[in-house]
Structure 1
Amino acid sequence: MARPLIADIDLDALRHNYRLARDLAPHSQALAVLKADAYGHGAVACAHALLDLAPAFAVACIEEAEVLRRAGIDKPIVLLEGIFEATELERVDALGLWVTVHSHWQVDALLSFRPQRPIPTWVKVDSGMHRLGFPVVQLSAVWQRLSAASERVGDLHLMSHFATADTLDDAYFRRQLALLDELAATLGAPTCLANSPATLAWPQAHGAWNRPGVMLYGSDPLQGANDASRRLEPVMTLRSEIIAVRDVEAGEPVGYGGRWTAPRRSRIGVVAAGYGDGYDRHAADGTPVLVDGRRTAIAGKVSMDMLTVDLTDLPDADIGSQVTLWGQGPGEERLSVDEVARHCDTISYTLLTGVLPRVPRRYHGGAS
């Protein structure tokens, strides 16, 4: 019998979430962001599932784009971080990719390169995130240089990233958006500004393109859920089984370091999943899990290949009982990856992208 840990990937849920992103912004086009192997879900499978819906995809780097091209994905692909050295432009041209430019050396390289056809280019401005992007005061000159090189540079878009679109305090977001609105109006530039939080909560930020990412995979990025984010469906369900059961007396410790001590005579279930699979070692006692669709919690530190859960109030649970670590449980029960992430003092992105290759992905749905 194979180890029971598996990541079930519901491609119908992925399509639902993409349609939600699209329907929230009917006057925008929605890039489907597939970076980091589609947030751990499998970029090739997810791209094929969205091929009839998404007009374009986005990845972080050319290596991720090449994987999609080799798999037969022929839609436009945007490199969100652009090129890392000038020689990559030959591959960009050959693969028909779109590039982001955020530094002067990238602009110089692009304007020195002779492509087979003009390369669509997204110009990133630093509107307040202070990671990548041209300073606002430099953007007009950069835009003019690129606009004047139509034999090398295709359609231009203005791009930026919001630092606080997910938070309840919207002051900084509004400051960024006002700056970007003014800049876009001055340049007459189509924009791509809205990430997942802004797609879900800020229609003012919707532009010619939006770039939904984590929301496509069913995670709610908002600090406070809204009607739209409550409609997201989980795409990944990380599931396993109870492989052993132990009875422990009150006061007995469980797991490394004895972090959890039984407050009463307890039944402990051992689950085939651990940090060697990507389940977060920082999961605190009390981190929720579903056992046969009923909520219980982790009891003791996560080990490399196993974790332990409290079965005391689940007398019917036994060896072979299904364990949902996050995602869609039996019936209508769900356990949000966002809730699990809070107990691990992290965010859903790290949990989803952290599921390691030894965990088999099992795909279902996704037909158009």
Structure 2
Amino acid sequence: MSTGLLSVDLDALVSNWRALDAMTQGETCAVVKADGYGLGAAKVGRALARAGVRRFFVAVAEEGAELRQALGPNVEICVFSGHMRGDTDMIGDMMLTPMCNTIGQLTRHLEALPEHPFGIQLDTGMNRLGLEIDEWASVAEIALSQNCRLVISHLACADAPDHPMNRQQLEQFHLMTDGISVPRSLAATGGILLGPEYHFDLTRPGVGLYGGMPFADARPVAHLDLPVVQIRDVAEGETVGYGNVWTAQRPSKIATVAAGYADGLQRVLSDRATLWHAGQPVPLVGRVSMDLITADVTDLPDLPGSLSVLGADQTVDALADQAGTIGYEILTSLGPRYARRYSGG
């Protein structure tokens, strides 16, 4: 096979959801935006639905429509971006629940789809999406008298447990919502790990389902193996790849591997990332190019047919650290050329 193999362990995904669900007393939902964090929303969604998830979150209505086609009518699909202009027919036809973020969105929804369910997103300090406290005060009575399904907000610093912003947002959420009868939600993965006072009626884990931090106990879900196209002998003093940025300091065996920045291996990983073979680290040498990378396999006892990038030896966050980014970006950048294989679930 000339492309990399992205293996998705749906049993690990479900195990991660169950572990997070066990930490909470309320409903545990699932975030499957960005095509299931790059791993395939349809298959991820089906596995989670079979495990018991009844409410999913996506970023935009188009994602919600695709998920509805995959999952059928028996789950709720909530849209973080709310009721955007031009989305009315899709929201209605596909039975989506928009999280209204502005008074304008709420007005649009109630006028266009007066009996259709919706949610409200509140801004508790992140200054990204949601109604601010004065806006909410002006429409709360109207919104809560309609078919409002839930009221949510989002934590800005949940991956840093000691950050004072967490407590500040928790207090603001209480101030804005205490006393309402509609279910409330504040916690994603990081918020779940902050403890029960952040959980409210439902939680909505995302990256932790897929094996990412801050859920340190998550099982790896994505396993990426890349085929070796060629192995060549390189003499001491010879260079490898674009720009001559790596020079062999000894006689070396260099594997040319079929993946590059078109496949989500960022160019910043040049001459710094680690690949793996049978538990042994293999340094990436030279520049990452569009379709190819090169790795020094001199110290391996056997010449490999493939090298691993993600899996038991290297988590998405370990690779992200080498790239100076976060596991979310690694997952959602995995390219379309990889052959995908799903197991379990």
Return the offset for 1:4.
Answer: 4.3
Counterpart Cα distance in 2 of 1:218 and 1:46: 13
User: 1:80 is matched by which residue type in structure 2?
Assistant: F
For 2:136 and 2:157, the matched residues in 1 are separated by 22
| Alignment match of 1:140 (pick from 125, 137, 141) | 137
Q: Which residue of 1 aligns with 2:314?
A: 335
Q: Check whether the contact 1:249–1:264 (CA below 8 A) recurs between aligned residues.
A: yes
Could you tell me how far 1:253 is from its partner in structure 2?
2.1
Question: Any residues of structure 2 matched to 1:99-178 within 5 Å, and which?
Answer: 99-115=98-114, 118-148=115-145, 150=146, 153-155=147-149, 157-178=150-171
Partner Cα separation in structure 1 for residue 272 and residue 76 of structure 2: 44
Identity score, percent: 35
Give the 3 Å change call, closer, same or farther, for CA 73–261 of structure 1 in structure 2.
farther
Per the alignment, residue 68 of structure 2 pairs with 69
Report the equivalent of 1:268.
Answer: 254
Q: Which residue of 2 aligns with 1:331?
A: none
Q: Is the contact made by 1:48 and 1:73 (CA closer than 8 Å) also made in structure 2?
A: no
Secondary structure at the residue paired with 1:230? coil
Report the alpha carbon displacement of residue 73 of structure 1 after superposing the two structures with TM: 2.8
Q: Is 1:93 equivalent to 2:77 in the alignment?
A: no
2:308 corresponds to: 324
Distance in 2 (alpha carbons) for counterparts of 1:199 and 1:245: 47
1:40 touches 1:355 (CA, 8 Å); kept in 2?
A: yes
Q: Which amino acid aligns with 2:83?
A: I
1:33: which partner in 2?
A: 31
- Return the offset for 1:339: 0.6
User: Structure 2 vs 1, CA of residues 10 and 357 (structure 1 numbering), >3 Å: closer, same or farther?
Assistant: same
Alpha-carbon distance, 1:78 to partner: 0.4
Query: SS of the residue aligned with 1:231?
Result: coil
Rounded to whole Å, the distance in 2 between the matches of 1:158 and 1:71 is 26
Match of 2:288 in 1: 302
When the two chains are superposed, the root-mean-square deviation of aligned CA atoms in Å is: 1.8
Aligned residues: 343
In the alignment, the residues of structure 2 paired with residue 238 and residue 133 of structure 1 have an alpha-carbon distance, to the nearest angstrom, of 37
Separation of aligned partners in 2, 1:122 and 1:39: 23
Q: How far off its partner does 1:241 sit?
A: 2.4
In structure 2, distance between residues paired with 1:168 and 1:111? 38
Assess if the C-alpha contact under 8 Å between 2:6 and 2:224 holds in 1. yes
- Residues 263 and 353 of structure 1: is their aligned pair in 2 closer, same or farther, counting only changes over 3 Å? same
Query: When the two structures are superposed, what TM-score results if normalisation uses the length of structure 1?
Result: 0.88
Which structure 2 residue ranges, 5 or more long, are not aligned? none
**Is residue 2:221 matched to residue 1:242?**
no
Aligned counterpart, 2:189: 196
Does the alignment pair 1:256 with 2:242?
yes
Partner of 2:80: 80
Length-normalised TM-score, structure 2: 0.94
Runs of 5+ unmatched residues, structure 1: 223-228, 329-333
How far apart are the structure 2 equivalents of 1:293 and 1:83? 48
Q: What amino acid is the match of 2:27?
A: Q
Alignment-mate amino acid for residue 38 of structure 1: G
Measured after TM superposition, the shift of residue 266 of structure 1 is: 2.1
Question: Does structure 1 conserve the Cα–Cα contact (< 8 Å) formed by 2:45 and 2:71?
Answer: no
Match of 1:354 among 321, 328, 333: 333
Q: Is the 8 A contact 1:122 1:158 kept in 2?
A: yes
Return the offset for 1:168. Answer: 4.9
